[in-house]
Structures are given as structure tokens and as C-alpha cells.
């Protein structure tokens, strides 16, 4: 990624966040911006939420692709901007068919002070949209964004 693009992303963290919640909001915003820039740089079709066009468009990503990419983006960010309140954590998984849940994966952050784990789930929305960051236990309990609960 060109330096000017990366600098526009890291500028989101130019002043230290005052709370862990504020830092999570900035991280989500940075992930959305990274997705937008990576899509443009790779000349890929913008990814649709929930792998909507997965079978007809080879550029579409499932939750495993999204998890791997987001985890890497978090590591790049953490290295360059040094998060104050969080560390990148291992991805999480839910659903095994036999438990009645569809399998799903997500990247995660660990809040340093509390050890709470948060899912940062880029799968549900189109590439470049700010992803939700939700508490792990909520996410593990079949969490979906409000727009999808109908």
C-alpha cells in the first residue's frame, strides 16, 4: 500500500484515545478504510456483505477470508500505531452444524485492562463499511447485526 494511503489510515490514531470504547471505534473505522483502499489497489470487485455473490463472483469472500484479512490488518495497525487499550487476539469460531448453528468466524481484539475479548466481524457488511465490534460472549451466542435479524 502506498505510504500516503497508509498514513491516511494511521492518522485516525493521531491522538491517543481516551477510552477502550473510543479505540474500538477508531479501529473499526480504520479497518473499513483499509478494506476500501485494498479493494481499489487490487482491482477487485467490492466484497458484498454475507458473501452475497460468492458463487458468481470469485472476488467475494466468506467469513474465513474476512477473518484472515481483518486479523492481518489488525496486526499491521497494532505494529504501526501501537494500540493503547487493546491487543490483537486469535480468531474465534462458532457453530458446528450439530449444535444447530451455521459455522462462522471472526477476528478479535483483547482489551488489555479487562482481558475481555471483542469480535470485529467484517463479514456481514459490504467491504469498506464500518464493521461492528461486539463482546465475544454475545457474538458466540449467534449474534447478528440488527439489520439481519428479520
Looking at the whole model, is its pTM more than 0.85?
Answer: yes
pLDDT, residue 150, reads 43
Q: 136: pLDDT confidence band, cut at 50, 70 and 90?
A: very high
pLDDT, residue 129, reads 94
pLDDT, residue 56, reads 58
pLDDT, residue 60, reads 76
Q: Tell me: pLDDT of 86 over 80.
A: yes
The vertex-24 CA angle with 53 and 34, nearest 5°, equals: 45
- For the sheet with 104-111, list strands across it: 86-94, 104-111, 117-120, 133-135
DSSP state of 39: H
Counted residue by residue, the chain has a size of 150
Q: Tell me: pLDDT of 147 over 70.
A: no
**Residue 133 structural domain:** 3-148
Q: Tell me: pLDDT of 55 over 90.
A: no
How many whole angstroms separate alpha carbon 66 and alpha carbon 43? 17
pLDDT, residue 42, reads 87
Q: 102: pLDDT confidence band, cut at 50, 70 and 90?
A: confident
Kindly state the average pLDDT of the residues 15-40: 96
Counting the structural domains of the chain, the total is: 1
Amino acid at each position: 500500500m502506498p505510504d500516503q494511503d497508509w498514513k491516511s489510515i494511521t492518522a485516525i490514531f493521531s491522538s491517543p484515545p481516551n477510552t477502550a470504547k473510543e479505540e474500538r471505534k477508531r479501529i473499526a473505522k480504520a479497518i473499513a478504510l483499509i478494506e476500501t483502499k485494498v479493494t481499489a489497489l487490487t482491482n477487485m470487485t467490492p466484497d458484498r456483505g454475507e458473501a452475497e455473490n460468492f458463487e458468481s463472483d470469485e472476488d467475494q469472500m466468506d467469513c474465513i477470508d474476512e477473518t484472515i484479512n481483518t486479523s492481518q490488518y489488525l496486526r499491521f495497525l497494532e505494529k504501526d500505531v501501537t494500540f493503547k487499550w487493546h491487543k490483537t487476539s486469535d480468531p474465534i469460531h462458532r457453530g458446528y452444524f450439530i449444535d444447530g448453528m451455521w459455522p462462522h468466524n471472526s477476528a478479535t481484539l483483547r482489551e488489555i485492562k479487562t482481558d475481555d475479548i471483542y469480535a470485529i466481524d467484517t463479514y456481514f457488511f459490504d467491504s469498506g463499511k464500518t464493521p461492528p465490534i461486539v463482546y465475544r460472549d454475545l457474538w458466540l451466542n449467534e449474534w447478528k447485526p440488527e439489520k439481519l435479524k428479520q
